[in-house]
Amino acid sequence: LFLNGVPFNDLESGRVYWNSFGGLNDVMRNRETEIGLSAQSYTFGGIGGASNIDLRASRQRKQIRASYGISNRSYNNRVMLTYSTGLMPNNWAFTFSGSRRWAQEGYIEGTSYDAWAYFFGAEKKINDSHSIGFTALGAPLKRGRGSAVTQEVYDLAGTNYFNPNWGYQNGEKRNARVANTHQPIFILRHDWTINEKSSVTTAVSYQFGRNGTTALDWRDANDPRGDYYRNLPSFIDDPEVAAIQEEWYKEDPSRLQLQWDDFYEVNRNSTATFENANGNPGEVITGKYAQFLVEERRFDSKKFNINTNFTNAINDHFTLTGGVSYQMYAGRNFRVLNDLLGADYFIDIDRFAQGVAALDSIPNSEQNDLNNINRVLKEGDEYGYNYEPHLNKLGVWLQTSFSYNRFDFFLAGDVSQTQMWRTGNYVNGKFPDESFGDSKKLNFTNYGVKGGVTYKLDGRNYFYANGAFLTRAPTFRNTFVAPRTRDQIIPNLKEEELRSVEAGYYLRSPYIKAKVGAYFTEMKNQTTIRPFYVDAPLIEDRAFGNYIVPGINQQHMGLELAIDAQIISGLNMTAVAAIGNYTYTNRPVAIVYNDNTKQELQPDVDRTIYAKNFRVGGTPQTAYSVGLAYRGKNFWFLNVNANYISNMYIPFNPDRRTQLAVDNEVDFVEKDSERWNEIIDQEKREGAFTVDIFGGKSFKVRNYFLYLNVGVNNILNNKNIVTGGFEQLRYDFANRDPNRFPSRYYYGFGTNYFVSLTVRL
């Protein structure tokens, strides 16, 4: 994704954080999007294509626009106001836009929403060759979040929209997981039209700010979460006691929520004395020590981008485009003590390192920062971990495009250099020599080539074929074993390789538009890291760790069809189908690390993951939609769509697909038995059918235009649609019971709507 000509994908994770500019719909309408491996005019592109949102003030429609919307989705209310001058006689253009979206509680209980957004754009057309523009935008957001839970918990609560993150405090709902984000963006862009055939665009951007989410934490206390598996009936071995426990929850589902008043009560009664406080011998502190508290996990960052693209139409048949970009990312990941919940203080030590025999020989191993031993913490203090991801990326791309009467073809290449390292700000007591200061700097040189051809049978029928091969550096988050505590790099880290081909047919006629396309993509040497609670049979001491799976290979193939046909004047029929098959194609070998040691756990154990032919989870692999769209003569319209998704697989626990999960020296599960299949088989969810309606009408009153739009999704109120989830990484090795730690799910909303009224002058 590009914003006004600068790349916007996050360098640390590779993702696009859409909430950085949410709520600015009015100024985000000018988009240039290419799907798949086709030629791009502003970047080499990715396997899925690329998109650029043009934010220049001169390209914004001249208008004053105000709107109000109501909804029962994540927020209930939205107001937006936009003013654009267009290009004025003095060759200046300005755009102002702002919005607010809010809800005391969204569709899911306990999820509050408070989001603002602002935009300012100014552009000066200096002459026919040069223009320069400045853009500033941001979207402060505070949002109470939900979480995936097991089906048992949903059933106990009596709803598939149960949220375990909230509870009552003094009669008011309070959510423990609140996202708080604000990362403003500033862009300076220069457009240079050299002549009618050549142009150069240069854009510079800077983004900074906060990105954090709170969470409940506890020390010398039991897990307080209502959905904690030990608190549930399924954990109780006695069926009669389990039935009583189940009825107890169903009588009062609030028992599954957080008990905030209890947390305060425990903290008020936890007076403790701590010696050698703040690392000072003889300093003693006495007060209410926090057994429960709220932390905030911060992922702040600073991002600098500069990107220059040029286009040169050398003749009527040959166009040369290309560009140079430089990106710099400096993050800071740390923890903040958000709320002591009535306690007086907290000590910055690692409870999972206390009493661990393997750490007895390391002095002060329980200290999170040896530079601040036994640090006494108050609200607002940083603690736990503090490190900085650093990434620099320099890239160059070039594309040649040829156009003739019957054939169009292109060839493009891309070369980039990525450097990354970790800077630790704490001297971790477990890893005093591997945690502080700069780590080794890793350098990756990557390249990509792609090309394609289009055959134009006539003015309506087109056939195309494209192909690409590229490599890319691993993301920072998939490079270090445990960046919170040390700078240890994943063994045998490799760059990813991607190969992809696509081919298809377009029909563009006055009454019918259609496309048929097929694709095949291979992705090799991928790496995943999942933090998890390290359980038996790995270690005796409780701890957290990281389950690392390097060398993952995937294969994606599919067929896509789309048609838009005019039935009669004003009435169109649309239909789309996406039929995919996304699988893993190899058997990678996992590596498991405990946060307390840099040594691999059980290195002699065969941890080969039998993942070959398993499906890639987290998305429907088949989807269909059929719709009717009618546009009336009096400026009204109505769209009705019927949709069906299927082949939805839950991302699987790799540890359950190892030999150790079904066989060891003491016990084994008979191959192909019912129990064997229950352990090994991948979970597949049922297909889902929905119907959506979207309609509206516009009115003209003197010099004003009024627009009324109404959208209703899932009008059949299907509340059993699993939209995501995952198998837990914990597994009952002792009893070979896959249901001890069942899958967690997210469910899609039932009937939901959005209604907006807009006034435009």
Cα distance between residue 6 and residue 158, in whole Å = 47
Structure confidence at residue 360 (pLDDT): 79
Query: Whole-structure pTM over 0.75, yes or no?
Result: yes
Cα distance between residue 248 and residue 568, in whole Å = 60
Structure confidence at residue 663 (pLDDT): 83
The model's confidence at residue 536, banded by pLDDT at 50, 70 and 90, is: low
First to last CA, the chain: 31
Cα distance between residue 502 and residue 556, in whole Å = 11
Examine the pLDDT at 361 and tell me if it is beyond 90: no
Residue 398 and residue 412 in contact, taking contact as beta carbons nearer than 8 Å:
yes
Residue 737 DSSP label:
B
Cα distance between residue 590 and residue 53, in whole Å = 40
Mean pLDDT score, 665-688: 88
Percent of the chain with pLDDT over 70: 99
- For residue 580, the one-letter residue type is G
Give SS3 for 477.
helix
> Residue 337 has which token pair?
């003590």
Structure confidence at residue 221 (pLDDT): 84
**Which residues partner with 386 through β-bridges?**
334
Residues 6+ apart with CB under 8 A from 658: 590, 606, 607, 608, 609, 610
Examine the pLDDT at 535 and tell me if it is beyond 80: no
Cα distance between residue 594 and residue 544, in whole Å = 6
Residue 547 and residue 655 in contact, taking contact as beta carbons nearer than 8 Å:
yes
Q: Report which of 430, 408, 444, 411 is spatially closest to residue 482, judged by C-alpha positions.
A: 430
Structure confidence at residue 702 (pLDDT): 86
Mean pLDDT score, 97-112: 96
- For residue 112, the one-letter residue type is S
The model's confidence at residue 246, banded by pLDDT at 50, 70 and 90, is: very high
Cα distance between residue 484 and residue 595, in whole Å = 9
Beta strands in 282-441 (DSSP E): 284-288, 292-313, 318-339, 346-347, 376-377, 382-403, 407-424, 437-438
Cα distance between residue 41 and residue 398, in whole Å = 10
> Residue 747 has which token pair?
């469910």
Q: 3-state SS of 284-302?
A: EEEEEECCEEEEEEEEEEE
The CA distances from residue 450 to 41, 559, 626, 719, in Å, are 14, 21, 34, 44
- For residue 372, the one-letter residue type is N
- For residue 406, the one-letter residue type is R
Mean pLDDT score, 719-727: 95
Cα distance between residue 211 and residue 181, in whole Å = 4
Q: 3-state SS of 300-320?
A: EEEEEEEEEEEEEECCCCEEE
Question: Strand 407-424 to strand 442-456: parallel, antiparallel, or no bridges (unpaired)?
Answer: antiparallel
Q: Report which of 715, 714, 697 is spatially closest to residue 706, judged by C-alpha positions.
A: 697
Structure confidence at residue 93 (pLDDT): 97
Residue 120 and residue 93 in contact, taking contact as beta carbons nearer than 8 Å:
no
Structure confidence at residue 543 (pLDDT): 72
**Which residues partner with 51 through β-bridges?**
33
For 21-149, where are the alpha helices, taking DSSP H only?
none
For 47-164, where are the alpha helices, taking DSSP H only?
151-157
Q: Report which of 421, 536, 393 is spatially closest to residue 480, judged by C-alpha positions.
A: 421
Question: pLDDT for 289-323, tens place per residue?
Answer: 999 999 999 999 999 999 999 999 999 999 999 99
Residues 6+ apart with CB under 8 A from 408: 401, 402, 453, 454, 456
Structure confidence at residue 489 (pLDDT): 95
Length of the chain: 761
Cα distance between residue 236 and residue 149, in whole Å = 18
Mean pLDDT score, 44-53: 93
Question: pLDDT for 419-477, tens place per residue?
Answer: 999 999 999 999 999 999 999 999 999 999 999 999 999 999 999 999 999 999 999 99
Cα distance between residue 83 and residue 26, in whole Å = 10
> Residue 48 has which token pair?
């899925």
Mean pLDDT value across the chain: 94
Q: Which residues of 56-69 are buried (b: 16+ CB within 10 A; e: fewer)?
A: bbbbbeeeebebeb
The model's confidence at residue 538, banded by pLDDT at 50, 70 and 90, is: low
Torsional class of 200: left (φ above 0), alpha (ψ -120 to 50), beta (otherwise): beta
Cα distance between residue 380 and residue 372, in whole Å = 16
Range 263-271 contact pairs with CB under 8 angstroms and sequence separation of 24 or more? 263/224, 263/291, 263/292, 263/341, 263/342, 264/169, 264/341, 264/342, 266/221, 266/291, 266/292, 267/291, 267/292, 267/340, 267/341, 267/342, 267/343, 268/342, 268/343, 270/343
Examine the pLDDT at 528 and tell me if it is beyond 90: yes
> Residue 563 has which token pair?
């048609």
Cα distance between residue 80 and residue 117, in whole Å = 9
H or E segment at 100? strand 92-103
Angle at 385 between CA 382 and CA 391, to 5 degrees: 110
Q: Which residues of 545-573 are buried (b: 16+ CB within 10 A; e: fewer)?
A: bbbbbbbbbbbbebebbbbbeeeeeeebe
Torsion angle, alpha carbons of 217, 218, 223, 227, to 10: -20
Examine the pLDDT at 534 and tell me if it is beyond 80: no
Angle at 490 between CA 489 and CA 496, to 5 degrees: 115
Q: Which residue has the tokens 């604000």?
A: 182
Examine the pLDDT at 744 and tell me if it is beyond 60: yes
Residue 749 and residue 673 in contact, taking contact as beta carbons nearer than 8 Å:
no
> Residue 756 has which token pair?
């907006």
Examine the pLDDT at 537 and tell me if it is beyond 70: no
**Which residues partner with 382 through β-bridges?**
336
Q: Report which of 125, 135, 119, 120 is spatially closest to residue 4, judged by C-alpha positions.
A: 135
Percent of the chain with pLDDT over 90: 87
Structure confidence at residue 488 (pLDDT): 95
Cα distance between residue 175 and residue 258, in whole Å = 9
Instruction: Quote the radius of gyration of the chain (alpha carbons, Å).
Output: 29
Structure confidence at residue 539 (pLDDT): 57
